[in-house]
């Protein structure tokens, strides 16, 4: 099974750590301070902890769960060659206003992908509130699942790998999202 490094350890990071670990992945959480400050979280979730650099080196896949405005501080060279799952959302009240986004000239994913130009950036876990992530996960129950939108550059390739099913009137992403190796863990998998 693969390894997932997570940048930051807030609500999103902790929720997906639980799902990733249930699916058999090894997970390392990180924060911007001394990793000892994550001791209680690591004990509760039974995951590994490290610095941001250690988490990036650890993971084949990196979940980026930071306040959006900090994306320019992500270490692009260190993230080179990695799959970066971008969980960020743009909230002007928190992040300040960015004209390019307010004017719909670009998207958050495009900005993050431009910064992480040697990574494969996939916007994938930003649309479900962290409080719902665990309670709505239905890896073995096909009824009434939630959709989990995915956005990335190579949509032609992605469309071969991601099957969209309509079940109970909802769009469901098929579990075989092979290049991400995410099969049974996403909410709609
Ligand atoms: N929450 C949701 O429901 C949700 C859902 C989808 C997407 N998102 C997006 O995903 C990203 C991460 O969201 P999140 O809700 O997981 O973030 P969060 O829990 O608010 O915080 C993320 C990180 O910010 C720092 N931080 C926040 N509050 C702090 C405090 N009181 N004291 C010190 N440090 C603090 C911590 O990093 P350090 O320890 O390194 O300082 C923390 O790990 C954001 O872009 C958000 O918009 C959120």
CATH for 26: 3.40.50.720
Q: What is the pLDDT of residue 32?
A: 92
Number of structural domains (the chain) is 1
Task: Provide the token pair at 17.
Answer: 């750590």
Over residues 91-101, the mean pLDDT reads 94
Q: What burial letters (b/e) apply to 85-98, b meaning 16+ CB within 10 Å?
A: bbbbebeeeebeeb
Residue 176 falls inside a structural domain: no
Whether 70 is covered by a domain: the verdict is: yes
- pLDDT tens figures, 22-62: 888 899 999 999 999 999 999 999 999 999 999 999 998 89
In a domain, 167, yes or no: no
How many residues belong to the chain?
A: 189
Phi, psi of 164 (to 5 degrees): -95, 120
- Which of 126, 184, 121 has the alpha carbon at shortest distance from 158? 121
Does a structural domain hold residue 135?
A: no
Least confident of 10-19, 114-123, 131-140, 151-160: 151-160
Q: Is there an atom of ligand 1 within 6 Å of 130 CB?
A: yes
Ligand 1 pocket, residue 158 CB under 6 Å? no
* 26 CA to centre of ligand 1 in angstroms: 21
Domain span at residue 69 reads: 3-130
For residue 110, the model assigns a pLDDT of 87
Of 110, 61, 120, which Cα lies nearest the Cα of 88? 110
Q: Which residues contact 18 (CB under 8 A, 6 or more apart)?
A: 45, 133, 134
Is 11 part of a structural domain of the chain? yes
Of all protein residues, the one whose alpha carbon is nearest to atom 6 of ligand 1 is 126
Please work out whether the CB of residue 11 comes within 6 Å of at least one atom of ligand 1: yes
Separation CA 139–CA 142 (nearest Å) = 8
Residue 21 maps to a domain: yes
* Full-model pTM: 0.84
Instruction: Report whether residue 178 contacts ligand 1, using a CB cutoff of 6 Å.
Output: no
46 lines ligand 1 (CB under 6 A): no
Alpha carbon separation from 187 to 89, 120, 158, 161, 174 (Å, rounded):
18, 21, 18, 17, 11
Quick: pLDDT tens for 109-145: 889 999 999 998 888 778 888 998 888 887 777 676 6
- Contact between 184 and 175 (Cβ < 8 Å): yes
Q: Which range has the worst mean pLDDT, 87-91, 128-132, 144-148? A: 144-148
């Amino acid at each position: 099974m693969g390894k997932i490094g997570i940048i930051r350890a807030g609500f999103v990071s902790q929720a997906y750590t639980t799902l990733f670990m249930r699916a058999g992945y090894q997970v390392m959480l990180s924060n911007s301070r001394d990793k000892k400050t994550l001791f209680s979280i690591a004990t509760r979730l039974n995951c590994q902890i490290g610095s941001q650099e250690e988490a990036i080196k650890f993971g084949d896949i990196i979940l980026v769960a930071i306040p959006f405005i900090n994306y320019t501080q992500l270490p692009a060279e260190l993230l080179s060659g990695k799959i970066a799952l971008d969980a960020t959302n743009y909230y002007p009240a928190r992040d300040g206003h960015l004209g390019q986004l307010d004017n719909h000239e670009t998207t958050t994913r495009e900005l993050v992908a431009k910064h992480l130009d040697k990574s494969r950036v996939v916007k994938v876990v930003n649309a479900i509130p962290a409080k719902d992530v665990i309670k709505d996960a239905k890896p073995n129950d096909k009824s009434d699942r939630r959709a989990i939108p995915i956005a990335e550059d190579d949509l032609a390739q992605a469309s071969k790998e991601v099957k969209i099913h309509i079940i109970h009137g909802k769009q469901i992403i098929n579990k075989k999202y092979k290049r991400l190796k995410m099969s049974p863990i996403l909410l709609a998998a």
